[in-house]
Protein backbone atom coordinates (compact mmCIF):
# COMPACT_ATOMS: atom_id res chain seq x y z
CA UNK A 1 0.00 0.00 0.00
CA UNK A 2 1.56 3.27 -1.07
CA UNK A 3 1.14 6.67 0.52
CA UNK A 4 2.83 9.87 -0.71
CA UNK A 5 4.55 10.60 2.61
CA UNK A 6 5.72 7.01 3.04
CA UNK A 7 6.92 6.86 -0.58
CA UNK A 8 9.11 9.91 0.10
CA UNK A 9 10.67 7.99 3.01
CA UNK A 10 11.18 4.79 1.00
CA UNK A 11 8.42 2.97 2.87
CA UNK A 12 5.17 1.20 2.05
CA UNK A 13 2.71 -1.02 3.90
CA UNK A 14 2.30 -4.71 3.05
CA UNK A 15 -1.20 -5.33 1.66
CA UNK A 16 -1.65 -8.78 3.20
CA UNK A 17 -0.38 -8.24 6.76
CA UNK A 18 -0.34 -4.42 6.98
CA UNK A 19 3.16 -4.11 8.44
CA UNK A 20 5.58 -1.38 7.33
CA UNK A 21 8.16 -2.34 4.70
CA UNK A 22 11.43 -0.52 4.04
CA UNK A 23 11.57 -0.63 0.24
CA UNK A 24 15.35 -0.09 0.23
CA UNK A 25 16.23 -2.93 2.63
CA UNK A 26 13.15 -5.03 1.79
CA UNK A 27 12.59 -5.78 5.49
CA UNK A 28 9.47 -5.70 7.66
CA UNK A 29 9.42 -3.10 10.41
CA UNK A 30 7.33 -2.65 13.53
CA UNK A 31 5.59 0.71 13.28
CA UNK A 32 7.29 2.21 16.34
CA UNK A 33 10.75 1.07 15.14
CA UNK A 34 10.37 2.58 11.67
CA UNK A 35 11.53 6.16 12.43
CA UNK A 36 14.62 4.81 14.23
CA UNK A 37 15.37 2.51 11.25
CA UNK A 38 15.25 5.46 8.85
CA UNK A 39 17.64 7.55 10.96
CA UNK A 40 20.09 4.78 11.92
CA UNK A 41 20.15 2.78 8.69
CA UNK A 42 19.51 5.36 5.99
CA UNK A 43 20.55 8.64 7.69
CA UNK A 44 17.13 10.11 6.90
CA UNK A 45 16.28 13.02 9.22
CA UNK A 46 13.65 12.32 11.89
CA UNK A 47 10.14 11.94 10.48
CA UNK A 48 7.41 14.49 10.95
CA UNK A 49 5.54 12.69 13.74
CA UNK A 50 2.09 14.03 12.79
CA UNK A 51 2.50 13.16 9.09
CA UNK A 52 3.95 9.74 9.89
CA UNK A 53 1.10 8.95 12.29
CA UNK A 54 -1.49 10.09 9.75
CA UNK A 55 0.10 7.91 7.04
CA UNK A 56 0.05 4.92 9.40
CA UNK A 57 -3.65 5.49 10.12
CA UNK A 58 -4.56 6.01 6.46
CA UNK A 59 -2.75 2.82 5.36
CA UNK A 60 -4.06 0.85 8.36
CA UNK A 61 -0.53 -0.18 9.33
CA UNK A 62 -0.33 -2.58 12.27
CA UNK A 63 1.58 -1.74 15.44
CA UNK A 64 3.57 -4.97 15.52
CA UNK A 65 4.91 -7.59 13.16
CA UNK A 66 2.85 -10.76 12.75
CA UNK A 67 4.06 -13.74 14.76
CA UNK A 68 1.66 -16.37 13.48
CA UNK A 69 2.84 -16.69 9.87
CA UNK A 70 3.72 -20.34 9.35
CA UNK A 71 5.17 -21.98 6.27
CA UNK A 72 5.40 -23.29 3.83
CA UNK A 73 3.57 -20.49 2.07
CA UNK A 74 3.96 -18.08 -0.82
CA UNK A 75 6.55 -15.37 -0.42
CA UNK A 76 5.40 -12.25 1.42
CA UNK A 77 5.29 -9.38 -1.06
CA UNK A 78 7.99 -6.73 -0.69
CA UNK A 79 10.37 -8.67 1.56
CA UNK A 80 13.77 -10.05 0.63
CA UNK A 81 14.52 -13.76 0.94
CA UNK A 82 17.45 -15.57 2.49
CA UNK A 83 18.69 -19.14 2.57
CA UNK A 84 17.40 -21.16 5.51
CA UNK A 85 16.99 -24.68 6.86
CA UNK A 86 13.62 -26.37 7.33
CA UNK A 87 12.66 -28.99 9.88
CA UNK A 88 11.21 -32.12 8.25
CA UNK A 89 9.02 -32.80 11.31
CA UNK A 90 7.30 -29.43 11.77
CA UNK A 91 7.11 -26.01 10.13
CA UNK A 92 10.10 -24.54 11.98
CA UNK A 93 12.89 -22.87 10.01
CA UNK A 94 16.25 -21.44 11.01
CA UNK A 95 19.03 -19.68 9.17
CA UNK A 96 21.78 -21.28 11.26
CA UNK A 97 22.44 -25.03 11.47
CA UNK A 98 23.33 -24.79 15.17
CA UNK A 99 19.87 -23.42 15.97
CA UNK A 100 18.21 -26.15 13.88
CA UNK A 101 20.22 -28.78 15.78
CA UNK A 102 19.07 -27.29 19.09
CA UNK A 103 15.46 -27.17 17.87
CA UNK A 104 15.61 -30.81 16.77
CA UNK A 105 17.09 -31.99 20.07
CA UNK A 106 14.46 -30.08 22.09
CA UNK A 107 11.36 -30.61 19.93
CA UNK A 108 12.02 -34.03 18.37
CA UNK A 109 14.31 -35.87 20.84
CA UNK A 110 13.06 -39.34 19.90
CA UNK A 111 13.64 -38.90 16.16
CA UNK A 112 17.15 -39.50 14.78
CA UNK A 113 18.87 -36.29 13.72
CA UNK A 114 19.19 -36.07 9.92
CA UNK A 115 22.64 -35.97 8.32
CA UNK A 116 21.66 -32.83 6.43
CA UNK A 117 18.89 -30.29 6.88
CA UNK A 118 16.42 -29.49 4.10
CA UNK A 119 17.24 -26.16 2.47
CA UNK A 120 14.54 -23.54 1.90
CA UNK A 121 14.03 -19.80 1.57
CA UNK A 122 12.91 -17.62 4.47
CA UNK A 123 11.82 -14.05 4.96
Q: What pLDDT score does 71 carry?
A: 67
Is residue 67 assigned to a domain?
no
Number of domains in the chain: 2
Domain identity same for 53 and 93: no
Question: Residue 87 in contact with residue 54, Cβ under 8 Å?
Answer: no
Q: What pLDDT score does 98 carry?
A: 95
Rounded to whole angstroms, the Cα distance separating 62 from 22 reads 15
Question: Which residues does residue 82 pair with via DSSP β-bridges, in sequence order?
Answer: 122
Question: Residue 77 in contact with residue 16, Cβ under 8 Å?
Answer: yes
Q: What pLDDT score does 75 carry?
A: 84
Taking the chain (123 residues) in runs of 10, the rounded mean pLDDT of each run is 98 96 96 96 96 98 86 82 92 91 96 93 86
Domain extent, residue 106, equals 82-122
Specify whether the backbone of 26 is left (phi greater than 0), alpha (psi in -120 to 50) or beta: left
- CB neighbour burial string for 33-63, b if at least 16 within 10 angstroms, e if fewer: ebbebbeeeeebeebeeeebeebbeebebbe
Domain identity same for 100 and 54: no
Domain identity same for 53 and 8: yes
Amino acid sequence: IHHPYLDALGLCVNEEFHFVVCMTCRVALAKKETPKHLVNTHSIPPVNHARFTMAMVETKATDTLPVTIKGPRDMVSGLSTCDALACDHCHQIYMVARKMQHHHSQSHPNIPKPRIWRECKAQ
